[in-house]
Amino acid sequence: MDIINKIQKYVIMSRCFDKYCRAKYLLFLFFLCLFSVQPKAETMDGGISPSLVFHDIGWNMLHAVSYNYGLNFIGAGLGTWAFIETGLDWQWRNIAYENEYLSYMGLPMLLAGYLVPVITPIPVYLAGRYLSDTKLQVTAAALVQALVLTQAVHVPLKLITGRTVPGLISGVFFEPNNYRDDRSGDFSNEFNWFKFDILDGWPSGHTACAFSAAAVIAEIYYDKPLLKAGVFAYAALVGLGVSFNAHWASDSIAGALLGYAVGKSVGRSFSRLLGGTNSKDRYSVYFTPNSLGLVFYF
């Protein structure tokens, strides 16, 4: 029996390692593609070419990781650990579990988290074309790039970490994998590594996309305080809403930190095209399949 158990453990470990290696090199190829595809934006009659979406996309991805010296990514991980260890995740989850109406009150934000990031750039771009407003068109392109890069950040983390959902809702058609979980013991620390579940888990993609979009708009429209307050209020509502049904509280906080880093980097890059912020990153990260480094520019 011991030999059989050892063989089973070896097979499981081999499969996990194989998945890890495949994920590692797929991510490397993805980022390599980001740097190899850098078309220049062209001006068309009445507006900006949609190819502006690719403006500095590779560097913006790296700057998102190195934004705030990487503290957003570090804080996402450490913050989640702290919420689990102190029981805050479990306590927050139980508030929603015992007050089921909170979960259903948050469903509109859960649905909006799916639809708004995809739909918003379209009317923004069309309005910019119709009004011959370059800033709106640039904002639309920036929002699309932020959405793409946010997916590039949070989806691999979901695939790798495989965190168990809090089990607060069931029977919701756009969340088919969520079921109310009646376990009484704390399972907030349950991670199914390399489960490869693209929809659920850590961090919250809804919150990450909301905060990346808010940060983009705030960076481009830096002189519009009411607009900035509005977009961040929306992002906070999305994070709060999903923490009552599909995610743990720390999922939302991690998503906010990661999304904000992406949005600030993308927004700052596109803002420069409009003569906005002239700030320039003095550092960036680089990586190969087997190494990670930090570059400083003098």
pTM over 0.75: yes
Mean confidence (pLDDT) of the chain: 82
Could you tell me the residue ranges of all domains in the chain? 37-296
Contacting residues for 261 by C-beta, under 8 A, at least 6 apart:
64, 65, 67, 68, 72, 73
Residue 80 · residue 250 · CB < 8 Å: yes
pLDDT band, residue 276 (cuts 50/70/90): low
- Percent of the chain at pLDDT > 90 equals 66
Residues 261-287, mean pLDDT to the nearest whole number: 74
Q: Measure the CA–CA gap between 260 and 228, rounded to whole angstroms.
A: 13
Summarised one tens digit per residue, pLDDT across range 92-127 is 999 999 999 999 999 999 999 999 999 999 999 999
pLDDT band, residue 46 (cuts 50/70/90): low
